[in-house]
Structure 1
Amino acid sequence: MVHDVSVVGLYILDILGRPVDAIPAGGNVEFIDEIRLTVAGTAGGTVVDLAKLGLNCLAVGAVGEDEKADFMLATMQRFGIDTSAMQRIAGVPSSATILNVRRNGERPALHVRGASDHFDVPPSDYDRVLAPRIVHLGGTGLLRRLDGEPSRVLLEEAKRRGCTVTFDLIAATAETIGLIRPLLPYIDYFMPSVEEATVMSGQKTAEDAARWFIDAGVQCCVFTLGGEGAFYAHADGTRLKRPAYDIQVVDTTGCGDAFDAGFVTALHHQMDTEAAISFAQASAALVATGLGSDAGIRSFEHTLDFMKTCPVRQQ
């Protein structure tokens, strides 16, 4: 079976609670409204959303041999995701995060790096992992073994085989550029937040950061701008900015991952550029209406209807 997309990288179990105003003192208890467990991470959150949007997905990452892994694999399988390329690594826990979501949307996190630091894609797996038309690499920065030269080799081979490569990362700092710069010539769609893009490039605006990354080899930059929308810049000179949808935000966990999923889905359906950006924003906006990285998204048709009917924020 050839999948629509291969989603490679960071797979995390998120444990989320809201609203968390403060950690109780001593051994006291506070009552909150909601607790959820979700498959998350820059690959995990994206692959679940892609499956909900109707794509046939191959999950490529690592988990431990623990109860968290059991939940993550079972959840992905329930959404119809092929988990046969997921590695189970003995002796390390699955990567996991506890997120305390505040009323104002802030979400201080406690993270265990775990199995994702031990994940790699050996050349013997390339025929399976790089068979889909689209390959998404998500999570550079928290993939200790795959980061750097192994990622460059993987993406170079993906391009040699004719794949469209989409890319996102996590926890970017000014030092992260050293990890990703060798990858840039092999990336078709580079999709960080504008904050990450400007920090890594040393530029001050979305336009200048996009020009910097395009000059370094990227074909197209698609930056999320938070409440300001999204910015698209192609090496052919095309520029496009779209406003954000006007929604009541509950939790922004996983919105970037959902944006990636929406954009990849649009590529799969060969939408034009403006529709692709709008569909990606619609996917992210739906996730922001609930708790966790898979909230809000129901189906391709529901997301398309939301895209066409939800008002946008006035600039």
Structure 2
Amino acid sequence: MIHKNNLQGAAMRYDVSVIGLYILDVLGRPVSRIPERGNVEFIDEIRLTVAGTAGGTVVDTAKLGLRSLAVGAVGNDEKADFVLATLAKFGVDTSAMQRLPGVPTSATILNVRPNGERPALHVRGASDHFDVPESLYDQVFDAPIVHLGGTGLLKTLDGERSRILLQEAKRRGRTVTFDLIAASRETAGLVLPLLPHIDYFMPSIEEARDMSGRSTVEDCAAFYLDAGAACCVFTLGGEGAYYAHRDGTRLAVPAYDIAVVDTTGCGDAFDAGFITALHHRMDPEAAVRFAQAAAGLVATGLGSDAGIVSFEHTQEQMRRWRVKG
């Protein structure tokens, strides 16, 4: 059975509270080269999406049917208008989103290459100034699952403020899921003190390796479990995912065999799928497979909100898609 703490949220206002990095993504594909001087290259598609390790996740949890609270910050600009309107369109509760004067909304320009790689240009903006005051705790923790996403690009919240936040989540009996961004050996100093308050630690294997200095997936998992995490769920790109719980459960789950268009937001979709699986009390293997299906759907389109339609549609893709041999 799935390992969980307080997942019985019938009396709670939300199913999940998603805290952290909210970004406006401007994506174009396919970008083979940047034109010289002031010349023009023609591409097939340009999109605007709500993204970030919290923004992409909360959109997908809402599309998967969860009552989702967005907890983050935007500026007081036209980009903020788009972000908030888009969240509302998907049914996300934005009442805990902060509009900060004098700073831009965090935003990224992504030039998606034909092979799916996506070199980025990023404005850090409002997410650097975001914090969760104690006055919001009763609302932010009015969900059985609390997700913190974006450590590494949350300048004010990173570090001790995040530790206090997650400690309070656990004191209130919440299940804590966690992801980060832009990981390095230096990021480990922000992440390691949080691990004793994290139930599901969900970085990519590249991030896990960069922070731990370990090479194999098994050694990476042992490093973070020894540091206090209850469970590691690593995304392995085209190789699938790896689940390691401190009770000894180990699962290597292969990826689905799909045609990849763009990998933007796949990690966020995996997080959303796994959170949704927790909500539905799936067993660990089913939870990882559902999370991979959500990520796979996003990979079939452009942007972090592509592909996912509903919980039922994602389940159907699980049944239809073949796994890699």
Does the TM-score normalized on the shorter chain lie above 0.5?
Answer: yes
- TM-score band by shorter chain is over 0.9
1:219 is displaced (CA, Å) by 0.2
1:106 is displaced (CA, Å) by 1.2
Q: Distance in 1 between matches of 2:117 and 2:253?
A: 24
Structure 1 residue aligned with 2:147: 136
Q: Distance in 2 between matches of 1:131 and 1:293?
A: 26
- The question of 1:66 aligning with 2:77 is answered yes
Residue type of the alignment partner of 1:59: A
Structure 2 residue aligned with 1:210: 221
Q: Distance in 2 between matches of 1:62 and 1:284?
A: 25
- Aligned mate of 1:76, from 87, 92, 95: 87
- Aligned mate of 2:167, from 144, 156, 167: 156
Residue type of the alignment partner of 1:175: E
Structure 2 residue aligned with 1:274: 285
Residue type of the alignment partner of 1:158: A
SS of structure 2 residue aligned to 1:139: strand
SS of structure 1 residue aligned to 2:186: helix
Mapping 1:114-263, distance limit 5 Å: 114-263=125-274
Structure 1 residue aligned with 2:50: 39
Q: Distance in 1 between matches of 2:243 and 2:115?
A: 28
For 1:203-242, what per-residue CA distance to the aligned partner results, in whole angstroms no more than 9, with x for missing partners?
1111111011011100000000000000000000000011
Q: Distance in 1 between matches of 2:13 and 2:78?
A: 30
- Aligned mate of 1:294, from 283, 294, 305: 305
SS of structure 1 residue aligned to 2:62: helix
Structure 1 residue aligned with 2:105: 94
What stretches of structure 2 of length at least 5 have no aligned partner?
1-11
Q: Distance in 1 between matches of 2:284 and 2:254?
A: 14
1:102 is displaced (CA, Å) by 0.6
Q: Distance in 2 between matches of 1:96 and 1:268?
A: 30
For 1:249-293, what per-residue CA distance to the aligned partner results, in whole angstroms no more than 9, with x for missing partners?
000000000000000000000001110000000000000000000
Residue type of the alignment partner of 1:271: M
TM-score normalised to structure 1 length: 0.99
Residue type of the alignment partner of 2:20: G
- The question of 1:7 aligning with 2:18 is answered yes
Q: Distance in 1 between matches of 2:94 and 2:31?
A: 33
Q: Distance in 2 between matches of 1:79 and 1:253?
A: 19
SS of structure 2 residue aligned to 1:292: coil
Q: Distance in 2 between matches of 1:160 and 1:180?
A: 19
Residue type of the alignment partner of 2:184: T
- The question of 1:21 aligning with 2:32 is answered yes
Residue type of the alignment partner of 2:99: R
What stretches of structure 1 of length at least 5 have no aligned partner?
none
Q: Distance in 2 between matches of 1:78 and 1:199?
A: 37
Residue type of the alignment partner of 1:16: L
Q: Distance in 1 between matches of 2:117 and 2:222?
A: 31
- The question of 1:50 aligning with 2:61 is answered yes
Residue type of the alignment partner of 1:113: R
Residue type of the alignment partner of 1:306: Q
Root mean square deviation of aligned Cα = 0.6
1:20 is displaced (CA, Å) by 0.6
1:26 is displaced (CA, Å) by 1.1
